[in-house]
Amino acid sequence: MAMIAYTGVFAQTPLWTVGNARTVEHNTLSVSVFQNSRYGITRKLEIGAQPLGMLYAPNLYLKKQWLKGDLLVTSRHGVYTPVIAQKRFQSNGKTFPAFMNAEREIIYSPTNSIKTNLTLTNEVLVSSYIQKPTSCTEANYLLTGKIGFHFSVANKNQVLDSIFYPVFFVRTQPYQRQLMWYVGLQLDGHLYFESLDFSTDIQFISLGKFKDWSVEHKGLLLLTHWKNTRLLAGYKLAYSSLASQPNRLAFLPLLDFTYTFKFKPKQQGGDLSGVKRGKTKKKKKKDE
């Protein structure tokens, strides 16, 4: 009886698939505002993009799961171009959002030379469940290790000012032909409350050989009460060493939602063996 009561409060929704080696379900479209929107092409392959990013930095990525079992191994490969955003923030009067009070300045000076460039991102994700599934409980606490890098293919004559803000600095330096790499850990799981999950991570991000670095941490609570909708609320914390600038600490609140569309696969007529059904031809009666 105790076992039944225990499993009754355990969340039954699938774990979060962002930032770990899991992929979104086959024939499923997961749409978010600030997170990546994702579509499951197969059970082990998804394609995605950041919707709002399309307005400023057109982007696309593929996520492929190579190994599935006790250990999940997945690679993620993406490309985007930030040229639209760079040009929009180049004009006079364009400043950082109000919460960046110390950075109220033009992001890119009108004298900057902004040319076409592509930024490539590649990462490997390895995940394993800390709590293995049993007859009483489902698998829980998915621990993920990740390693990846960003590199831009930019015009050699492009000259840009650096953005000295913790979250943005290491991510915009590749536009100046620097290699950004990172390693991190992420933990996803069900809480022992119905319809409530969590996701938390920590990452070390660096430029070149530890030239400039940032340590970032994120915490999220995911409300999964509704069938196709998830609400996300949390925070991001970053502490960064920024070239010749003083070390900076940044705190950002996070709020988002995800809506999932599940498409039914096309079915062909047939029995369980896969043989197509059709009209049977009546046998002509032979004259006796």
CATH number at residue 247: 2.40.160
- Asked if the model's pLDDT at residue 19 lies above 70, the reply is yes
- Asked if the model's pLDDT at residue 71 lies above 90, the reply is yes
Report if residue 276 sits inside a domain.
no
| CA 125/CA 143 separation, integer angstroms | 10
Judge whether 71 and 106 are in contact, CB under 8 Å.
no
How big is the CA angle at 139 (ends 70 and 74), to the nearest 5 degrees?
45
Q: Report the 10 Å Cβ neighbour count for 67.
A: 12
Report if residue 41 sits inside a domain.
yes
Provide the domain count of the chain.
1
Which has more pLDDT, 277 or 126?
A: 126
Report if residue 205 sits inside a domain.
yes
| CA 62/CA 64 separation, integer angstroms | 7
Phi and psi at residue 175, in whole multiples of 5°? -65, -15
Q: Report the 10 Å Cβ neighbour count for 269.
A: 8
Contacts of 4 (CB under 8 A, 6+ apart): none
Report if residue 246 sits inside a domain.
yes
pLDDT in tens, 117-172: 899 999 999 999 999 988 888 889 999 999 999 999 877 777 788 888 888 889 98
The upper half-sphere exposure of residue 31, i.e. CA atoms within 13 Å in the direction of its Cβ, equals 8
Report if residue 46 sits inside a domain.
yes
Report if residue 279 sits inside a domain.
no
Long-range interactions of 159-164: CB distance < 8 A, separation 24+: 159/112, 159/113, 160/86, 160/108, 160/112, 160/113, 160/114, 161/107, 161/108, 161/109, 161/112, 162/242, 162/243, 163/103, 163/107, 164/103, 164/242, 164/243, 164/245, 164/248
Q: What is the mean pLDDT of residues 245-257?
A: 90
| Residue 266, CA distances (Å) to 27, 192, 263, 269 in order | 11, 38, 9, 10
pTM of this structure: 0.82
Q: What is the DSSP letter of 171?
A: H
Report if residue 273 sits inside a domain.
no
pLDDT in tens, 262-272: 998 766 554 44
Q: Report the 10 Å Cβ neighbour count for 127.
A: 21
Q: What is the mean pLDDT of residues 214-225?
A: 95
Q: Which of 243, 239, 85 is nearest to 166 (CA)?
A: 239
Report if residue 51 sits inside a domain.
yes
Task: Supply the mean pLDDT for the chain.
Answer: 83
Which has more pLDDT, 160 or 39?
A: 39
Q: Hey, is 80 helix, strand or coil? A: strand
Domain enclosing residue 135, as ranges: 2-262
Judge whether 35 and 232 are in contact, CB under 8 Å.
yes
Give the distance from CA 149 to its chain's centroid.
15
Query: What one-letter code names the amino acid at 118?
Result: L
